Amino acid sequence: MDDHASEDDHQRTLVWLDSSLEWACAEDRTGLVKLLNLVRTEVLFDVDPSESAPQARATVDGSAFGANRSV
């Protein structure tokens, strides 16, 4: 069995994360926004490991959401 997620799996996950982040932001759920940002950054890292530089990783303050939305 293959342990790696497909590109399609990553894209579906990112769509779900974006939707969840929009809801969490609208509901002012800052803790959830931070957690979802960390998960989203890890998914993006899994898709493109060349972004392993520290500045490409999520920060705890949630700033990765806006920076990573274009993917």
**pLDDT in single tens digits along all 71 residues of the chain:** 455 778 888 899 999 999 999 999 999 999 999 999 999 999 998 887 765 544 444 444 444 455 555 44
Residue 36 CA to residue 21 CA, distance in Å, equals: 7
Residue 53 confidence (pLDDT): 46
CA distances from residue 24 to 35, 37, 57 in whole angstroms, order as listed: 10, 11, 20
Are 19 and 47 in contact by the 8 Å Cβ rule? The answer is no
